[in-house]
Structure formats: C-alpha cells, structure tokens
Structure 1
Amino acid sequence: MQWPGGTASFIGREAEMAALTRHAMAGDGGLTLLTGEAGSGKSRLLAELGDRAEAAGLRVLRGRAVPGSGAFRPLAEALVRAAPPALARDERLAPFRSVLAWMLPAWPAGAAPSAHLVDPALVLGEAILELLEVVRSGSRCLVLLDDLHWADEDTLAALQYIAPALGDVPVRIIGAARSDERRPDGLAHLLTRREASHIAVPRMERTELAVLARVCAGDVLSPDLESYLVDAAGGLPLLLEELIAHLLGTGALAGGPGGWRAVRDLAGTVPPGFAEIVHHKAALLAREHREVIVVAALLGQDIRWELLPAATATGRALVAASIRAGAESGLLTVDAAGTPRWRHALTREAVLTRLSAPERADLAATVVDRLDGAGAVEREPALLADLHARAGRPHRAAELLRRQAADHVRAGALAAAADILERAVVLAAGDTGLAVAVRVDHVRALTLTARIDDAVAGGDQELRRAPEPGRSDLAAALADACLAAERFDDAQRYLREIADPAGPRALCLAAQLTLGRGDPRTAAELADRAAAAAERTDQPDLLCASLEVVGRARRRSDPRRAGEALRSALRTAEEHGLAPRRIRALSELGVEDLFEAGDGAALRQAEALAVEAGMLGTALGLALQQTALAASTEGIVDAAARAQRCADRATRLRLDGMRGHALMWVARGRVFADRRDEAGAILDDALRLSVSPVHIHAARHQLAGLDAWLDDDTDGAVAGLGRAVGTLRGAPGANATPIWGEWALLATIADPADGRAREELRSSDVGVQVINRAAQQLADAVAAHHAGDADLAARFLADGRALLVRTPFHRALFESFLTTADGLVDPIATLNSALAWLATTDEVRMVRRCRVLLRRAGGAVPRPARDRGPVPVHLRARGVTGREFEVLGLVAEGLDNPGIAQRLHLSRRTVETHVGRLLAKTGERSRGTLSHWLAPRPD
C-alpha cells in the first residue's frame, strides 16, 4: 500500500516522516515513541502521519495528554470517538464493559471497581486490547498519542502492558513526547522496552531551516533576514514559523523584487524568544479579552471554556468573543468541530509567564472562590485543588486531592491515586488530623499497587506522631499492607498499635495474621469473634472479611461450618451491594468444587464476575483453581496447558506468586508428557517466585515419586511421595492436596502389613478432599485383601471407585496402582478400563505405563495407532480397538463379512478375525447380539 501524495515531504523532517511511515505501515503491530524538544515538530509529524494514514484506508485514533488531566486521558480521547456507547453491546467486550466504562464515561456503568485490584491499569490494558480488535474491524489501526511527557503513570503502565501484546495484532501505537523535560518514570521505562521502537527528532540544521524559512515566507529572503531567522529559531521549526508569522503580522517585513527584507532593526524591535512573541500577541488583545485568555491559561492545558464564565465572572458572550480574538491573534486554534485549543503547549506556558508569583496567587484565589461558589468542586476537584495550592491554601487543596484520589481508586487508577496522595501528604503538613487521614489513604493506595516498602516507610514515620483516632486507622492500614506481603512480624507490630484490640478490625487482622502463620484453629476462633463484633456494630464489610477468614481456616477441620460461613459472607455481600466481597466469597465457595470434584460452575461464575469487576488478580487465582480441578478431570498434561496460559497472564500482570503457582502445574505436565528434563528448571523458577515455597518443595518431591512410579520404581515412588507429605505436615493451613492419598495408597500396596500411612490419612483432616477419601477406601481394600477378608476388600474397593467417578485421571492412576496389588483386581480388565479413558488424553507416560503393566499381566496390547479411533469408553474397557469398532458398526448395519471386507478394503479372513475378537471381548455368542453394545452407556 502506498501513501497518497507520497512525494510530499516535510522540509528537514523527510527521514523522520519516512521512518514513521514504515512503522505505521509495517505488517505487524507495536509501539513507536517519537521524542524531541518542544517546538521540534513532533505534533506536526503525528498530524500529517494521521492524515496520510486515513487517506490510505487505516483506522486512525488520536489522543493527547495534558498536564493534570487525570488518569487515562490520552487513551480515552483516542478511543471515545471510535467506541460509541452502542459498542458496549458487542459480545466480545462483555467481560470488559465495566472496565471500559471507567475510561469512557458515556458507556453504561457496570459493577463497581474492586478494592482488591492488583493493578487496574493492567486490567484496562486487557480491555483496550480487546476493544482495539473490535474497533479495527479487520483492518489495520493506527493510534496516535501526543504529549506523553504529561501522561499519568497509569496510562504509561497500560502502554507498558499493551506493548508486548501488539506483536500479533495489526495495531500500531505511535506516541510523541518531549525530550527536554523530566520524563515520568513510566515513560522512561517505555523507552527502554525491547518491544518499543524509538525515533528521535533532532534540531534542524541551518541549511534546512533556511529552506523552511523561505517556504514559510513564500518568497526569497534577504541574506540578513535569513541569517537572523535561522539564528533566532535555534534549530526549532515551530519557533521559526511563529517568528515569521509575528514579523509579517506586525509589518516588520516588506516585500519587493528581491524578496522579503526587514524595514527596521529586528534586534531592537522583534523579540528574540518565543515567550516574547506570545506576550506581544496577548498585548494586542482588548483588555477584557486578554483577562479571559489569562484565566484560561490558569485553568490548564485544555481550554475550559465551559468554566470560563464563572471563573471570570463574565457572560458567555464575552468568553466566546475572547476565544475568537485569541484564535485570530494566533494564541489559540479552533478545529472543525469548534473546539478551541492552545496553538502549542508552549503558548499557554508563555501566557502565564506574564504574571508575577504574587499576581498568580491572587488571581488563583479569586478564580477558585468564584468556581467554589458556582459548585464546580464536585465536578473539578483536581482543578480546584491546584488553584487552592497556587492561592496559598494547602490544607483545602489536600482535602480536594483526597477526593480526587478516591475517584481514581474507584476508577482503578491506583498509581495515579498514589501520586496524587503523595502531593496531598506534603500539602496536609501542619494539620495533624488531616495529615494522618491523607497518610492512611496513601498507605492503602500504595498497598493496592504492591508498593509495600513505600507504604510502610511513609506510614511508619507518620505513625510516630499521629494522635487517636487516626493512629489506630493508620496502624490498621499498615498491618494490612504487611499481611499482603506476608511480612507477619511487621504486621504483628502494627496490630499492637490499634487502640481497641477487641474491636472487629483488630480481630479480623489478627485472624488473617494467625492463619498466615499456619494456625488455622486459633485463626478461626479470632475470626468468629471478629464476625460477631462486626455484626453487633453493623460493619458489613468487616463482617464479610471475618467470615471469609472463618471459611478458609475451617476448610479442612470442619468443612460444613466453613461452607456456612462463606455462604453467610455471600449473603451479606449481596444484601449490602459489596461486589468485591461477593466475588471473594464465591471464589472461596468454589474451592468446594475443587475438593469434591464438582463441575466447576461456581469457580467459572466467580471468575466471570471478577473479570467484569476488573479484579484480574482474583480472576487469575480462580483460573488456577480450575486448573487444579482440570488435573483430575482432564489429565495432568491438559491441565498444564491451562497452567501455562495462567503463567503467561501472571507475567503480564506482574503477579509473581501466582506465576510460581502456575509453573508448579506446568512442571507436573512436563513430567507426564515425557519432557521431565524441563521440569526441574521450571520448579526452580516457581520456587524463586512463590510466596509460599512449601507447596513448591512438596510438588518437587511428589513429582520425583510419580516419575519413579512411571519408571516402574515403586520403592522410589513411595519414598518421593512420603517426602512430599513430610513437607506438608509442617503446613497445617495448606490445601488438602491429593498427594496424601497418592502416598497412603501406594505405601499400603508396597507393604500391606504396615498401616502407618493409611492410619495417618484416616486421622488427618485432608479427607475433605474426595480423592484422599477414595484413596483411604482403596488402601483399606488392599489391607483387607492382604488379611484374607475378600468381602470387606470388595466393599472398600467399590466404595473407593465410586468416589472417583468424577475424577477420571486419578481413577486411572489409582487403578494402575491397584494392578500391582497381588490379586485384588483383574489387572487386564482394570488396565483396559484405564486405557479406555487415557486414550482420549495426551497422557503419554501414563499410557505407556499402563501398556507395560498390561503386557506384563498377559493382556493383548493394541497397537497405538488403533487407539486413536473414536471408541466409546465402555468398549475400550473391554479392549475393543478402533478398527474393531468400525467393524462392529457395520455389523449393526446388517452387513455380512464380504460386505464389510468390501467397505473397509480388507480381506474376508481379516474381517472374520475382527468379528471373532468382538465376540470374545464382549462375551456375546453370536454376531446378531453385538449391536446392543453400540448403545450409549455411562462411563
């Protein structure tokens, strides 16, 4: 595809324009950053690129950042015109409707954003990626974002998240930023990203500026005039254009046969700097118009024309006339839609330099009082806070910044909220009560963005001088921060600072601390007391939090009471509209599905709600729980594929602990997929990332044991699984993993007379997990068979198998264990049954192990190629192969052997052999009764 008018170029910017064109038209997506000094022409390049791209048929979205405009401003401006509210009905955007409504105000609001978000800017990143896919409608898309040096950190964090994901999406984001201003941390990080390309716009050479000057003037320039213009511009084309326009507009130049020449000494009559040009333009305005323009500059980079009548105490007509005068003077521009803008960001800054510091403070006080009186504080807390600060009223500014930060937290812009509160902390100094309240908010915002060290450093300093009641609030916030990072000793220290240790807040935090330290019994008692106190004092949020701890703490010891507590938390959350607490309760209730091998409906519902509310961290935790469920219902190898997707998302969300947990499942999959040489390094990564290494250590021992079993080493298997259980004994608060059942069953098979493993399983509370209960029954069957009690063994065997009906992987694994228990089960029928299910999975080593055991038992082992046919499980359990199933189907159709041979291109003798094997495997006496085996049957 070629650009229309491809021969056109920017004088002195041909190389930059060509580079931008290549990036915009590249086949892949990505992020490009354009940097240069103010006035170097970045915005002009972006505008021209956008026009050319639209003419070439690309979808172009444009946005820009402005100072102090709040979170996500450039992204919102780019997307708002391309994403009308009607687009919210698109099914692909269903999970992200509420998230996008934070940024696109016209969209229908959904669930309230959560107080448990990990980093909502990244949540928004996921939503933006999906929205861009919908908006582009199959074509290439170009997103142009100007003035990113003013972008908020949440916008930059979202771009950091989006950048690596654009490689496979035909969307190119091109952002421009000044190189001569202090860069936000997020922008500096973006410039170092491998996924981001960088194009620098340098100052122009003198020869290029001379050519540009002649083009701007439209004629030849005298040598003295050309030299003056080139020197005055200093390599910046914007200043050159402004200077020429100023000289032409003031009559300082005259044309003639030899081109333009100066009619007076320019050094004395024409300002050498851009600010002086702007001052001169402003001075030419009528006084009433100039006053409106100065107030407009004070109100920010956007022309807040709707606020100007109140801010200037004038009428709308005068404001409109002033904007028109500003545009005619060249200070402002008005686009096709009638929206006024500053001609350049430098223009607004230059207007403000006309005022001395006392003049600015006096004007700010006057303007903010007018806006306060007009009720603007509800709509514009950030603007009024800035004006109060300029006017020398820091405490009022701090209060408004608290309000603005609260809005940002509700909108998911946590990084922006933390930055706003950091400024509010400084402004609140001198008012002790306000300073503590601001610091509490700051600690909570930093905690939500996982900046625990910063939260503790600032909060701890404030705590030393904080009076009550703010002291207890701050101590609770600091304790909560330390619990989030599992810094239990620090959390304990802050808990001691809470004035009412018997209050629901202190009790709930103490319960969380005790559970984190591995004492679920005491944690449950504390949480019970916290719940009772929260109910008495009508604090529903604390009640839900306390009941959640009760549910988690009693999950193994008393699953009934745990379920009751979690269901009570769910009801309370629903009654009081506490969406995050409702999702948390559903998440914890979903663990019952995991323990009882349910259908996962509760987990899926909770995950969908978490995504809708923007709680991607919670949603990822729920996806990991579904991975654990899938391990028993779909197989370890298939579950590992799910886990890898979870690990990838955890990487994007920067959730190291969850990535470590996901990698544990990935490693398990590698062992069972016959790629065990990769498992060790994966577990090393998991251990480095995990906040709970006990699970990784246990998984490493478990995999060593199962690897030994798959290699026909029963003693090594028992030893490895025993070490895994030994690791878990020291973590009574850990989930009731099936490792216990695997170890107890295999240890009993290895030595039926040694009942220690079996009895430890029986006395443990890990029986809350159905697989462990099944293993208990099967181990008892092995022991009863060894003792010669065939009837008791048969009952235990039937009960154990019944418990495994919804966990086919563990059913196949345990059945393969049982075939090595001398005489308890028919090994051929049992292994055929296991292979019947395994043949539908990618469990390479399990299939291989069962085939070895089947061959050892004297059973016929079908060739692997034959196992790929769509044979029903009940027939596979009888050893029926894919080819035999084809023959059975044709027998049921009424074909005789010659007809079957002709249909399948086989010899008659081969067909006769297949029919004979079908009769033998099914126990039928004639081919006429074979057809009823085609009827569907339960597994």
Structure 2
Amino acid sequence: MDAAPLVGRAAAVAAVRSAVTRAAEGGGGILLVVGEAGVGKSRLLTEAVRLARGHGLQVLCGRATESGGAHRPLIEALLRGGADDLDPGTVPAPYAAALGRLLPSWATGVVDGPEPSIDPVLVLGEALVRVLEALVGGPCLLVLEDLHWADADTLAVLEYLADRLGDRPVLVAASARDDEPGSAAVDRLTAGPGVHTLTLSRLGPAELTALAGARATGRLRADELAALVARADGLPLMAEELVDEAVRTATTPTSTPVPRTMTALVRRRLSLLDPVAHRCLRAAAVAGTDPDWELLPAVVGQPEEVVLAAARVAADAHLLREDAGRLRWRHALMREAVVTGLLPPERAALARGVAEALLARGRPEDVARAAELLAAGGEGERAATLFLELARQDRGTGALRRAEQLLDQAARTGALPAAVAIERITVLTATGRVDDALSAGVAALPSATGELHAELCLRMARTAVTARRWRDAEAHVERAGRPDDPRSLLLTADAAFGAGDVERAGPLAAAAVTRAERSGVPAVLCEALDVAGRVERLRSPPAARAAFSRAAQVAGEHRLVPQQVAALIGLGTVELLERETSEALPQAMELAAAAGLLGQASAAEVILLDSTVVQRGPRAVEAPARVLLDRGAWLHMPEVQAASAFGVALARAASGDPAGTEAALARIPVSAAWPDAGPLAAAVRTLPLLLAHDLPGASATLDAGVSGLVEHRVAAPLHQFGLWALLRTVVDDRGAAARDVLRGLPAALRPANRGALHYADAVAAGRGGRPDDALALFARGEAELARVPWLHRLLRLLVLEAAVADGWGDPVPLLRRDLAEHERAGDSQLARTCRDLLKRAGAPTRRGRGTTPVPGALRAAGVTSREMDVLTLVSTGSTNAEIAVRLFLSPRTVETHVASLLAKLGASHRGQLRSRVAALTR
C-alpha cells in the first residue's frame, strides 16, 4: 500500500478512525471502501492499518485476485496471520473442521461434501469469528482488498460477519471497485445492515493539485502540474503516476484523460520494449492480473532467462513494480490497456496458449482461469467441461456460491442444460432455495435425455423430500423411469413415510435396502437403512436398532461421516424410545462437531432437550436451549431454531414468566412448521395451567394441540401424548377415547407415555370402583416412569389427587415423599398442590416459616421465604383472600406481606410486582 499523503479525505478518515476506535472498544463490523480504479481506496486502507496499530489492534491482510478461487482473500489473511500454525484444538471442533476446508494443516479429510441441512458458508463465517479470537486474542483489523474479484462465497461470509461482528472486537476493512464488471455482488454486500460503506469520489482540481504538488516536491512547474491534474481527471493514483512519469522523463505527458491517458501511457511505455519483451508482456496481460513469470516461458516459447530479462525491461519502463516480494503491474488499468491493444485473433490465440500452459502445469488453482481463457479463445466445449468439474469440486468443499457462479459459466460456454441443472439443484437445495432448485430442474427437463434425464429427476425428487413435498417427490421418481435404481425405491419410501403412509413405506424401504446391497454403493445403502430404521422405529424398536446400527457400521467402514452421524442419531432415538436414555446421541454430537456438521450436531442436541425435560424439569433446558436458539438463528437452521425456542419457552413457563414465554415462542420461524409444532406450543401454554392446578384448562389447551396430531403416525413420540391421555382421564373428558387412541400410536412405545397410560388406566379403574386394579395399574406406571424423575412427580400428582378423591390406595406417604422432593427441586407450585392434597387427605402440613426457596436476586432485595410463598401466589394472579386460604394465614397478614414486597421490589401495584419478579428470576 502506498503511503502518499491523504488529501481531500477528511470525512473518510474520520469514519475510519471512528470504526477503528469502536473495534478497539469491542464493537466491530465491516467498513467497505468503494470507488473506481485509482481513486485512493488502498491509501485509505493504509490509513486504517496505521490507526489500528496505534490502538493496539492486530492486523491481518488478504487480497482477492481475478479467478483466485474460493475464499482466496480469507485464506491469504489467515495464512499470513499464522493460522496454519495454530493448534486446531483452540477452536471448537465444528468450526475447526470447517476451517479445514481452507487451512491445510486443519483438514480432517473425513467429510466429502457439505452437510445438506445447513449452508456451509454460515458455518465458515462463524468459524472465522472463532479462529480470529484464537489467533489474535484481542481487537483485530482484517484488511481485504479488491473484493470486486472475490468469489461469491467470500462475499457471503462477509455478509454473515456483518451481522455477527457488532459485539465483537473485529473490524473488517475492505476495498472494492464499483466500476468493475460483476460489481453487482459487491453492491449486495454494501446493502447489508452491518456494513458501513465509504464511497470515494474523484478529487477536485484544488485537492488534486495539492496532492500532485506534494508528489512532485518542486520538480515540476505550476503549468506542468496543472496539465497533469487535468489529465488525471480527479484520480489520485493517475495523478501520482503522471507526476512520476513527468519527473522521470523531464517532460509533461501529452496523453488524454483516463482511461485514454492510461492507454496512451501504456502504449508509450510498451514502445520502449523489444519485440520479445513486448510479446511476454502481452502474454502476461492475457494470463491474469498478477504476471505469472513461471508460466510465461511455455506460453511465449522462450527460455526462462529471456522472459525474466523482459520482465526487467518492463519494470524499467514503469509498467511493472515490486510489491510484497512479487513483480506486479504498476496499476491494474495498465494490464487492461495492454489487453485492449490486442486484435481479437491475437487475444484468442494467446488465451488458448495460456490455458494450455496452465493445464499442463497441473495445479488445481489454475483450472478456473484456464477454463475462462479457453472460453475466451473459442473452445467453449472444453471450457464448459472444466467449469462443471470445478463446480462439483466446490460443491464438495462447501463453496456453494462459487459453485453456482461456475455453473453459470458452464451454461454460458455451452454445457448441456441438464448437466448444469443436476449440479445446480444440489447447490440450491444446500443453500435452502428449494423452490429455485425445483424450477431449475423443470426448466432443464425438456432438453434432458437418457441417463441425464434420470439423474435430473432423481435429484429433483431428493429436493422435494427435503422440502416435504411428498407427492412431488414420488412424481419425480416415477418420471426418472429407473425402478431398479435403489435411489428410486428409497426416495419413494422416504416420501411415503413423510406423508404418514407407513404401511406402504415399510416394504419400499426393505426393497431399497436389498437393491442398495446389490448396487455396492455404500452411501446409498446407508440412506436406505436410515429410511428402513425410521419405519421400523414406529412398530419394532429392535428392528429399528438393527437397521441404524448396520448403517452406522457401513458408514464408519467407508468413512461416510454425515451418514454415520445420521445413523447414530437414529440409533439414539431408538435408545430413548426403549429406555429414555441414549449413548449414541452424545457420540453423534461429538462426531458431527469434529467434522463440522453443525446441523446434525444441533439435531442431536435438540432431541436431548426433551430427555432433559422429563428427567430434570423444564428449567434445566433453558441454558442449552438458548445456545441452540442463537445458533439456529445465526446459521439459518429453522427447525433447530424452532425446537430450541420451544425449550426456552417451556423453561420460562415453568418459571412463571408469561412475557418471556411468549417472546420465546415468537422466535419460532414461520418456515419451520412441521407436525410437532402444534403440540409443542400447546404444551408450553399448558404448563402454567398445570402448575397452577387448573386441570380443566390444562386439558383443553393440550387437547387443542395434540388432537390434530394423533392421526399422523410418523410424529415424534413426544411425552405430551401421555400427559394428554392422563389429563383427559383425570378431568373426565373423553378419557377412554384418548387412552384407546394412545394405545394405537407408536408414541405408546416410549416408557414415559406407557407409564402415563398406565396411570390413566389406574385413575379410570379407581373411579370405576376397582381399587385393586387401580393399584396394580399404578404400580406398572411407577415402574415405567422411574426413569424420568421430574415427569414422574408431575404425573403422579394427578393420579394421587384421583386416589384421594376416589378413595383407593394409600396416597399420603407418597404425597409426603413427593412434597419433600418438590421443595428440594424448587418446584414451589407443585409443592403447594401437594400440601393442598395432604390437607384434603386429612394429613395437613403446618407452614411456619416459609419453605419456598428464594432466588438470589430476590434474596438480595431482602425477600424472606414466607414473603416468597406469598409472592409466588401473587405472580399467578391469586387474590389476597385466595392466598390466605392456601397458606393458612389471615387476610390481614397477607396484606402486610404484599405491602412489604411492594416496598422491597420498588413496585407500585401487583401487576408491576409480577413483572419485576419475572425480570429478576430470568
């Protein structure tokens, strides 16, 4: 970067200084400097570097180059900053795995292709945040130049960072031309809410005169400076170049303004070269923005020493300059002027020659440029083949946006539409654009024949399954016309399963496994076994376990990590179904995290949230659910975001925070609608009613959510199914019908739901005058629910109330035992209900001092345990009279406690008291 004085940029420098200061104080972002070539973008970034170092920021620098490949500026910045020497263990495993696609020493070599459930560029963006923290350990300036040449995936990472760096001490200062073809991608970045854009315009005559005068240092007359300023036409770099040339030649250049000034300048300097040097420079210009001196001998047919001598002559002629240890063009416009001066046949011939030399050298990073040159040289068919192969490679490494650009280039150079569409469908699906993916397939179908037609249809079927368009998926499979292909069977089985047609899905899945075994393709066999396992899970957990275990074994043997993780997740769900605990799910999470498969790792964590709820209670899931909720939002995983929002909402509901509950439910993305959404939302709104012991209200609320799900056989075996049947039985609202429905559902295979069903049968037997049957059924429920302690206590309270009311069994000892456990766990509302039942059973508990635990924030405000008893009931909306009855106090004593609470918590009325409590107990 040149260190010439900054003239006429006071506002821009102030903006840079402000951004650097914010980063030093912990608030980063993206500062994008845009403008035409030569307007002073690099000079402003130099000022940013100077200011950053003055504030103690670490500085990392990278530069995009034309056809530089995916993530080129990010890779350069990380490597120059020493990231390749950093221990990958300093970054969480999922992000280290993602960075393995960029940094050679971090590569695991175990994942082939992106995770289909999550856009890998989002994981990479998050990984970049983490590695910068590990690498720099403090405030950081990341300088990225020439983003007009950056690939789409780099720009996508920066779009992601724009939303993530607001509370991080990382400032990205970048430059991009706005007069470069293809700058629309940069325009999209400038529109981002977290991007501050500085647009540099040309300098005025007075400003440019001051700059030129400082450059000339008295070596040019005023009229010469005026002529140079006129010809520079407001561009600082052009003024500097013209001053340098005028001083060097002792004459004032007579060329016309930019861009003709540059063209004339380049033509004059080229005239100083001999024919061989001239030919070398023309080949270098066609080859790319950075002259490749190693490549040029093969292109021009000259020995290396001749080419290097030509490079020296060009440097002496001020066409080239040394920059960061490389010999580069003094300005990109010089290279463009050389290319423009060639006749079309000359450009085509040189392009073909450079392409052949690039391919002959055998470097993967050269292939994209070679393809572009072949296209420019008239060899469209070869170029299209290369572009398609590059797109497949980038898809495999997660550079999906660059893959899409390469597919566009393949299409423009004559690739078959169906061949392009096959790859495009996969790319668009992986980035969540399923509608676009299917539209691309439909548009290409008329031109597809033979195997291309079949492959295109099967890809469309896979996308339709991802989009839950079951009928469309089957239609695409049928149109493929490949009934013997195991993928046809497994996709049809998957579609039938998703639509709830389990009877049809079962034989199809079994046939898919058989065909996949014969095909000898391990990945297809794993997918077929996964579908078969999901079908069997609804009717035979042992058979499901066998299918998932085999899939895990095959995937592990062939190092198919995404398939292995999927199999372990399936196996984990069977384990939960059989015994409410899982060893496979933590294994799946660990393996997925190590491979950077955040979508699959998060899916396993989501499944474990329900296990935590039934064992430890809703409040225990809040912390992990909030982590997942943020991750789901950052990484655009709507189902993870939805499920974790339910977890947070359930925890807030259990804590008596209705506002927090609704705020969490509001974070459920509309795009995440799936069959479980209704009952989960109903379960959240049921919990406060259940804890307040409003059983009719709880039953009606949960029934509204669950009733629409009971016919969907493939729904997850949520523990709310058992609660639903038990509540309907306890409140005597179509209880027998609910129990019969649950007995016929796969959800009844789960111990938690079997236990709840036994409890419901016990209540019905006791109410029907069959106490011995009630006790036997109760004992069976006890055995099943012993594995889920919190849910056990919650459901048993409902049954013990029925036992007290209907006069069977001996509920008092169990109520006393549960009361102690409710108090120990801090479940004050359940404890209060327990005391009420003991009173009704003729064994009341005395309440001297309060026994409700006081949270730390309230204890600090001076709230006592007895006041906490009162406050808990106030937060449910109970009146003073109702509180007095519940706590065996006089109304006057309750009034005294309420007045004390208002004073201690700074509240003016009972409603404000409730909101203060919710805020202090979050």
Scaled by the length of structure 1, the TM-score of the pair is 0.84
1:686 partner SS: coil
3-state secondary structure, aligned to 1:143: strand
Aligned pairs for 1:204-215 within 5 A: 204-215=203-214
Counterpart CA distance in 1 for 2:202 and 2:823 is: 68
Is 1:25 the counterpart of 2:12? The answer is: no
Q: Whole-Å Cα distance in 2 between the matches of residues 114 and 775 of structure 1?
A: 44
CA contact (8 A) 2:219 2:247 kept: no
- 1:250-649 matches, within 5 Å, as 250-253=249-252, 266=254, 273-336=261-324, 338-372=325-359, 374-376=360-362, 378=364, 380-429=366-415, 434-596=416-578, 598-649=580-631
Deviation at 1:354, TM superposition (A): 1.8
Which shifted more, 402-411 or 700-709? 700-709
Indicate how the Cα distance of structure 1 residues 269 and 122 shifts in structure 2: closer, same or farther if over 3 A, else same.
closer
Judge conservation of contact 1:113–1:614 (CA < 8 Å) in 2.
no
Q: Is the 8 A contact 2:428 2:437 kept in 1?
A: yes
**Deviation at residue 532 of structure 1 after TM alignment:** 0.5
Query: What SS is found at the alignment partner of 2:497?
Result: helix
* Residues 1:763 and 2:744 aligned together: yes
Residues of 2 paired with 1:654 and 1:314: CA distance?
54
Contact in 2 for aligned 1:597/1:807 (Cα 8 Å): no
CA deviations 1:380-399 (Å, max 9, x no partner) are: 22122112111111111111
Name the amino acid aligned to 1:405: A
Could you report, residue by residue, the CA deviation over 1:277-301 in whole angstroms, capped at 9, with x for unpaired residues?
1232233233323322322222222
In structure 1, stretches of 5+ residues that fail to align are 254-264, 871-879, 882-939
Q: Match for 1:287: what amino acid? A: P
Q: How far, CA to CA, are the matches of 2:650 and 2:258 in structure 1?
A: 76
CA contact (8 A) 1:563 1:589 kept: yes
Q: What displacement does 1:467 show?
A: 1.2
Alpha-carbon distance between aligned partners in 1 of 2:658 and 2:442, rounded to the nearest angstrom:
48
Q: Once the two structures are superposed, what CA deviation does each residue of 1:346-393 show, in whole Å capped at 9, x if it has no partner?
A: 232222112122211111122323444x34265522122112111111
Q: How many angstroms apart in 2 are the aligned matches of 1:680 and 1:271?
A: 60
Separation in structure 1 between the aligned mates of residue 848 and residue 90 of structure 2, nearest angstrom = 46
Question: 1:335 and 1:111 mapped to 2: Cα distance?
Answer: 38
Q: Is the 8 A contact 1:851 1:861 kept in 2?
A: no
* Aligned amino acid, residue 11 of structure 1: V
What amino acid is aligned across from residue 329 of structure 1 in structure 2?
A
Instruction: Give the match for residue 909 of structure 2.
Output: none
* Alpha carbons of structure 1 residues 853 and 296: separation in structure 2 relative to 1, 3 Å: farther
Aligned residues of 1:63 and 1:75 also touching (Cα < 8 A) = yes
Q: Describe the shift of the 1:806–1:277 C-alpha distance in structure 2 as closer, same or farther (beyond 3 A).
A: farther
Tell me the amino acid that sits aligned with residue 818 of structure 1: V
Pair 836,472 (structure 1): closer, same or farther in 2 beyond 3 Å: farther
Among 782, 786, 801, which residue is 1:820 paired with? 801
Give the letter aligned to residue 167 of structure 1. Answer: G
Distance in structure 2 (CA, Å) of the matches to 1:455 and 1:703:
36
Instruction: Please give the secondary structure, in 2, of the residue aligned with 1:667.
Output: helix
2-structure distance, mates of 1:633, 1:767: 18
Q: Which range moves more in the overlay, 531-540 or 270-279? A: 270-279
Distance 1:802 1:40 in 2: 78
Q: CA deviation at 1:588?
A: 1.6
Amino acid aligned to 2:127: A
Task: Kindly provide the CA deviation profile for residues 726-766 of structure 1, in whole angstroms up to 9, marking residues without a partner as x.
Answer: 11123111111112210222233334996333333233321
The 1:271/1:748 distance shift into structure 2, 3 A limit, reads: closer
Provide, for residues 749-805 of structure 1, a one-character-per-residue CA deviation record: whole Å limited to 9, x for no partner.
334996333333233321222210111222233344445555554443333223223
Partners of 1:358 and 1:435 lie apart in 2 by 29
| Amino acid in structure 1 at the alignment position of 2:126 | E
Quick one: structure 1 residues 445 and 360, their matched pair in 2 at CA, closer, same or farther if it must change by over 3 Å? same
Instruction: State the secondary structure of the residue aligned to 1:31.
Output: strand
| Cα drift, residue 470 of structure 1 | 1.1
Number of matched pairs = 847
Could you say which residue in structure 2 is the equivalent of 1:722?
A: 703
Aligned residues: CA RMSD: 3.0
SS at match of 1:63: strand
Contact 2:71–2:153, Cα closer than 8 Å, also in 1: yes
- The answer on whether the counterparts of 2:839 and 2:845 sit within 8 Å (CA) in structure 1 is yes
Q: Structure 2 counterpart of 1:120, which letter?
A: P
User: 1:737: which partner in 2?
Assistant: 718
Instruction: Tell me, in whole angstroms, the C-alpha distance in 2 between the residues paired with 1:825 and 1:550.
Output: 45
- The worse-fitting range, judged by mean Cα deviation, of 285-294 and 746-755 is 746-755
Could you say if the C-alpha distance between residues 211 and 307 of structure 1 is closer, same or farther in structure 2, counting changes exceeding 3 Å? Answer: same
In structure 2, what is the equivalent of residue 57 of structure 1? 56
**1:270–1:489 CA distance, 2 compared to 1 (3 A):** closer
User: What do residues 154-188 of structure 1 show as CA deviations (whole Å, max 9, x unaligned)?
Assistant: 11111122222222221111111123335655533
Q: What letter matches 1:367 in structure 2?
A: V
8 Å contact from structure 2 (residues 828, 852) kept in 1: no
Quote the residue 2:668 is aligned against: 686
Deviations 1:246-285 (A, max 9, x none): 22233315xxxxxxxxxxx836999951222123223323
Distance 1:69 1:363 in 2: 20
The CA deviation at 1:848 is: 5.5
Q: How does 1:122-133 map to 2 (within 5 A)?
A: 122-133=122-133
Supply the AA of the counterpart residue of 2:134.
Answer: V
Where does residue 658 of structure 1 map in the other structure? 640
Is 1:798 aligned with 2:779? Answer: yes
> What is the aligned-residue identity percentage?
35
Checking the alignment, whether the CA contact within 8 Å between 1:683 and 1:696 is kept in structure 2 is no
Deviation at 1:501, TM superposition (A): 2.2
Matched-pair contact (CA < 8 Å) for 1:785–1:793: yes
Q: Is the alpha carbon distance of 1:617 and 1:732 closer, same or farther for their aligned partners in structure 2, counting shifts above 3 Å?
A: same
Instruction: Give yes or no for contact 1:115–1:580 (8 Å, CA) kept in 2.
Output: no
Partner of 1:69, secondary structure, is coil
Partner of 1:775: 756
How far does residue 145 in structure 1 lie from its aligned partner after superposition?
A: 0.7
Give how far 1:63 is off.
0.7
Corresponding position of 2:77: 78
Which of 303-312 and 724-733 deviates more?
303-312
* Paired residue type of 2:20: A
Q: Deviations over 1:73-113 (max 9, x none)?
A: 11111111223433134343444333112112344444224
The equivalent residue for 1:258 is none
Decide whether aligned partners of structure 1 residues 367 and 188 sit closer, same or farther in structure 2, where only a CA change above 3 A counts: closer
- Higher deviation after alignment, 79-88 or 855-864: 855-864
Q: Taking structure 1 as reference, are residues 345 and 691 closer, same or farther at Cα in structure 2, changes over 3 Å only?
A: farther
Partner residue in 2 for 1:175: 174
Aligned-pair distance for 1:614? 2.7
Note the alpha carbon deviations across 1:638-684, whole angstroms, 9 max, x for none: 32443333222222122334323332333333322212345456546
| Contact 1:61 1:82 (8 Å CA) reproduced | yes
Change (3 A) 1:65 1:783: same
Change (3 A) 1:380 1:708: same
8 Å contact kept, 1:29–1:168: yes
Q: Which residue of 2 aligns with 1:930?
A: none
CA offsets, 1:43-76, max 9 Å, x none? 1221343245336532100011122211111111
Q: Secondary structure at the match of 2:100?
A: helix
CA deviation profile, 1:7-57 (whole Å, cap 9, x unmatched): x95122233223212211321222211122211111122134324533653
Deviations 1:531-550 (A, max 9, x none): 10111121221111111111
Bigger mean CA deviation after superposition, 563-572 or 825-834: 825-834
CA shift, 1:132, in A, is 0.6
Whether the aligned pair in 1 keeps the contact of 2:20 and 2:51 (CA below 8 Å) is no
- Alignment partners' CA distance in 2, 1:611 and 1:67: 34
